[in-house]
Structure 1
Amino acid sequence: MSVFTPLEREPLEAFLAPYGLGRLVHFQGIAEGSENSNFFVSLERGEFVLTLVERGPSGDLPFFIELLDVLHAAGLPVPYALRSDAGEALRELAGKPALLQPRLPGRHVHAPNAHHCAEVGDLLARLHLATRGQILERPSDRGLDWMLAEGPARAARLDATTRPLLEAALAEIAALGERVRGLPRANLHADLFRDNVLFDGAHLAGLIDFYNACSGPMLYDLAICLNDWCSAADGRLEPAHAHALLGAYAARRPFGAAEAELWPALLRIACVRFWLSRQIAADAFAGQDVLIHDPDEFLRRLAQRQRVEIPLPFAL
């Protein structure tokens, strides 16, 4: 189970009391998380999620709180930080920064169809449009410079068959970095995988886990999303899924020529980012009872993205 900081009932009850949400009925750790400790919390007045933030500087947390407030005000189905009776959104529990948020309805979809992908594409466009006019600035701590710093040593550990794939991708990042940074920007979720979306039947009911959110090129966020939602087990893109996701997104935010030109490269860059972060996590938590996602999944996807045959629709 990926709960890095276990909780006892008595200190949890003391933490929850200032929210005025009634008696603690039940709580349990959430196994799916890989970076923070998350708990389902049942109180007399409803269902909630408690997050203990394990990674990243605590100074970034006001950014996440403000971003979720903005998205919630724009009508997006996102969690948001509840305030205590003293008006505090960010508090401390077990020595960690802690946030209490409403629990959104729905379940994860692990085998999406084209309808699911269209719903996700539409929601991602809404997220970008809600913030692009007034971006909350926060550079990603796992952006292009991080990839170039971490990548060469990790690539050197690969076998002779796989190493050139990573080395070529890193060279592409170095060559295209300034052009990528110049693409149209907004606030990004930056981790819009299947396990961060909730569906209630056919309806997209929630978008969760914003702890990788940042400011940056909207196309990069789209590439991250599509690489997960529209990939087959062998890493190939599923055309029907990809067309559905991209079409729904473009219906709200049409693409520009620079985005169309850099689209294949952004798909490769997004593969590098998650191969690196998963490999680092696998090394750090080897042998521990922590959920580790397979880094090689993104090597397979990177190999398949050497030729991208699904262009952006309606590029202007």
Structure 2
Amino acid sequence: MAVYTSLDASDCEALLAHYDVGHYLRHVGIGAGIENTNYFLDTHQSRWVLTVFERLTAGQLPYYLELAEHLARQGLPVPAPQRTRAGELIVTLKGKPAALVQRVPGQDVLWPTADHCAQMGTVLARMHLAGRLFGHSQPNLRGLPWIATQLEPLAPHLPADLRQLLTTEIAAQQDFAVRCAALPAGPVHADLFRDNALFEAGRLSGIIDFYFAGNDTWLFDFCVTLNDWCIDQDSGLLDRDRARAFGSAYQFVRPFTDNEVPALALMARLAALRFWVSRLSDWYMPRAAALLTPKDPTHFERILRARQNSPLSLADLS
């Protein structure tokens, strides 16, 4: 949610001509995030989020948009994308694919409580189970194969100790990947951080930004979320109360299978590695944007080291 593509009122009016959602009132750029251009867009009838996709192609987008539409139809708190008068989910804006999605009420929670984490655990498990009925498949484009491709371009930027950490962890995860093939899997959000969930009056009102989604193990998605919602932000260590609230609520809806439990420790490391590498890439190889501040990669380095030094276990989650 950065601003790479600048839009004026006439651009927005041209876009809205494809929809039955009312007349243009205003739009404002959203500066958070790093991947796509996002605007809040208001019409006289309703409020929307307009996304212009900077990396994803029109051919890749149906998976993400149809997954969000599917989950919304399953009764989950996911804002549905709006179809055009012609029934399309994607339009072209300034030569790039774009989509219009319902704007849901609420705000993200910077410092979640155990109750917030429990709500997130319940909804995440429901999303995983609902995804079994989704008829499309697409790999997680930021999975381990992508992580491994970043080692060579990042190496010249890193001191020797970080190069060694990155190299050895990728090797450990490549060995671990063989065991992951049998883990329960399906469509996952893969980026369900605190800024991608909205709460209103203390209740979870929306899960947003599915544009890193893909088919992967449910346990990976669980650990991505855990590593953001249930930690001490300064040290990366687990907050036991929040971790147990999140883990217990998730397992009440979808209990872990016998082969998931021994995979917890390395999967939590993989989830930390994925975001450490993406933040390193954004830090050392940034893209130009009107509103963009790359996120500090040392945050996920700390989380990775914390998961290495204190391996995640079932006892941490129940």
- TM-score interval for Structure 1 and Structure 2 normalised by the shorter chain: over 0.9
TM-score, length of structure 1 as denominator length? 0.94
Indicate if the aligned counterparts of 1:155 and 1:167 stay in contact, CA closer than 8 A.
no
* Distance change in 2, residues 1:99/1:296 (3 Å): same
* Match of residue 277 from structure 1: 278
> Could you tell me the percent identity over the aligned residues?
39
SS in 1 for 2:149: helix
Indicate if the aligned counterparts of 1:135 and 1:215 stay in contact, CA closer than 8 A.
no
Counterparts in 2 of 1:101-140, with a 5 A limit?
A: 101-134=101-134, 136-140=136-140
Does residue 247 (structure 1) correspond to residue 274 (structure 2)? The answer is: no
SS in 2 for 1:198: strand
Does residue 184 (structure 1) correspond to residue 184 (structure 2)? The answer is: yes
Q: Distance in 2 between matches of 1:268 and 1:76?
A: 28
* Distance change in 2, residues 1:297/1:98 (3 Å): same
TM-score, length of structure 2 as denominator length? 0.93
* Match of residue 227 from structure 1: 227
Does residue 68 (structure 1) correspond to residue 51 (structure 2)? The answer is: no
SS in 1 for 2:150: helix
Look up the equivalent residue of 1:308 and give its one-letter code. Answer: S
* Match of residue 10 from structure 1: 10
Moved segments of 4+, more than 3 Å: 160-164, 286-289, 307-310
Look up the equivalent residue of 2:136 and give its one-letter code. Answer: L
* Match of residue 29 from structure 2: 29
SS in 2 for 1:215: strand
* TM superposition shift of 1:166: 2.2
Counterparts in 2 of 1:33-48, with a 5 A limit?
A: 33-48=33-48
* TM superposition shift of 1:104: 0.6
The answer for unaligned runs of 5 or more in structure 2 is none
Q: Distance in 2 between matches of 1:4 and 1:287?
A: 7
* TM superposition shift of 1:286: 7.0
Indicate if the aligned counterparts of 1:196 and 1:209 stay in contact, CA closer than 8 A.
yes
Indicate if the aligned counterparts of 1:63 and 1:136 stay in contact, CA closer than 8 A.
yes
* TM superposition shift of 1:88: 2.0
Q: Deviations over 1:216-274 (max 9, x none)?
A: 10000001100011121211111111111100000000001211101010011111111
Aligned residues: 315
* Match of residue 311 from structure 1: 313
* TM superposition shift of 1:115: 0.7
Does residue 151 (structure 1) correspond to residue 151 (structure 2)? The answer is: yes
* TM superposition shift of 1:25: 1.1
The farther-off stretch of 280-289 and 110-119 is 280-289
Counterparts in 2 of 1:184-223, with a 5 A limit?
A: 184-223=184-223
* TM superposition shift of 1:22: 2.1
Look up the equivalent residue of 2:241 and give its one-letter code. Answer: A
Indicate if the aligned counterparts of 1:136 and 1:215 stay in contact, CA closer than 8 A.
no
The farther-off stretch of 2-11 and 202-211 is 2-11
